[in-house]
Structure 1
């Protein structure tokens, strides 16, 4: 396990602001959470994993034209431990999901040149915890490996829409086209830089936009649940026994995973049919 140095030092974070941001807009971020050197190293690791995933049946799942999602093994990247122990990440998880939060997923999205606008969507159906109890029980952290420019297909999100009634949504995830103008009017386009990290409720309505540049826009994804949220059913987090036993105990307690003698290829389980079938 090789740690890449120069992670931002431990500091205290404003928990009321974290709660207000995720329960309000549905997304917050931290500028300069990691050094550019740390992110650059990650940026050399993902292309190799992407190439291998594309060559393996079921290794990458489509998210629209020229877009893929790849779930990976944590030990495939050198910075996994740095990421999951970053004080902002742990503070957000504890504040929103509770002290027994569970890491269930790590992977990356790649909107390549030629990627088109996605339809507005959620990443999964909202459950009664959110619709009735008004409680968030899952978060997605995103970490870009490049400086995002306006022509690279930036991520767009419609703040506050994690609470929208999905009764008219296709599969509980895709709003009807008649609602698109509302989301377009609310939309915020994100242009993070290397080292920035964000976290959102995946229920907040969002989309990837068209990448008209000549460069891909890889982004690392870390999925975290409150106990019982159940999204681990869609993922296959694995660790070799040797790697797992080196992890600090306070990290192991936050994992829902399999411990294996040898890593097995991941067959992508979190498909989003509406994104595979076409673009907006």
Structure 2
């Protein structure tokens, strides 16, 4: 979806845009708002992230030329809760919260502050997967309501060459609960015979998706990393009572009321944790 100039200027989605986005997520598993964040902000985020990524890869001996993580060259890192990563435009963007609140309730929780990066040199895609497991194991044979939404902010233009996320929309999030458990039939085998889409998007776009939608990372054949900021919002009833994001008290005190509410279950009063 392209957000109108009027909505961009106002910093608020029209009710009909929210309604469309909500129903796209419910019916198709995701919605994409193209090119929302200013390019200068995204470039700064990318530069600061690379300063984290490079020492983390060195520490863990991730060599793109040799390959790692089964040849996918895919890296997941928690973000430190400090600027520029914890900017309100990231943790509580009004376009995101307008949609998330409609689906999860306005008392939902932000409990995941992470990144997913396809590093150059990858030879293989990830296995097709959902970002969640079954809530009731093999016992539940009906589809359950959405309880988690993943929000991704790409920090570079995502194209066919630099490791775009591949998704299987239009129903993979609508299976019975037991389809997301360890005893379900192989998603990768099924996905070979199903239609998929590679999510190509400009830097600073916003992808909001049901965490049950099948997807995978693909190999990055460019010469630079392809990072996504990855946040997860969870309905209050299903959120952990004690979170994992460490936030200094003075940082928390300076947040907006909305951001404070989203992060109220996290580890407030703890020092920022470095991702490596």
TM-score, normalised by the number of residues in structure 2: 0.82
Q: Do the aligned partners of 2:78 and 2:114 also contact (CA within 8 Å) in 1?
A: yes
Q: Distance in 1 between matches of 2:70 and 2:107?
A: 31
Alignment partner, residue 197 of structure 2: 188
Deviations 1:76-105 (A, max 9, x none): 535521223322111011011101010001
Q: Do the aligned partners of 1:124 and 1:172 also contact (CA within 8 Å) in 2?
A: no
| Unmatched segments (≥5 aa) in structure 1 | 1-5, 268-280
Q: Distance in 1 between matches of 2:240 and 2:270?
A: 24
Aligned residue-pair number: 258
Q: Do the aligned partners of 1:103 and 1:225 also contact (CA within 8 Å) in 2?
A: yes
Task: Please tell me the root mean square deviation across aligned C-alpha atoms, in Å.
Answer: 3.1
Q: Do the aligned partners of 1:152 and 1:211 also contact (CA within 8 Å) in 2?
A: yes
- Residue 251 of structure 1, aligned match among 246, 259, 268: 259
Where does 1:202-221 land on structure 2 (aligned, <5 Å)?
202-221=211-230
Deviation at 1:173, TM superposition (A): 7.5
Moved over 3 A (4+): 52-57, 61-64, 130-133, 165-170, 230-233, 264-267
Alignment partner, residue 143 of structure 1: 153
Secondary structure at the residue paired with 1:178?
helix
TM-score, normalised by the number of residues in structure 1: 0.81
2:149 is equivalent to residue 122 of structure 1: no
Q: Do the aligned partners of 1:123 and 1:173 also contact (CA within 8 Å) in 2?
A: no
Alignment partner, residue 112 of structure 1: 119
Residues 49 and 232 (structure 1 numbering): CA distance in 2 closer, same or farther, change over 3 Å? Answer: farther
Q: Distance in 1 between matches of 2:31 and 2:13?
A: 17
Secondary structure at the residue paired with 2:98?
helix
Q: Distance in 2 between matches of 1:12 and 1:223?
A: 24
Q: Distance in 2 between matches of 1:173 and 1:54?
A: 33
| Unmatched segments (≥5 aa) in structure 2 | 1-7, 61-67
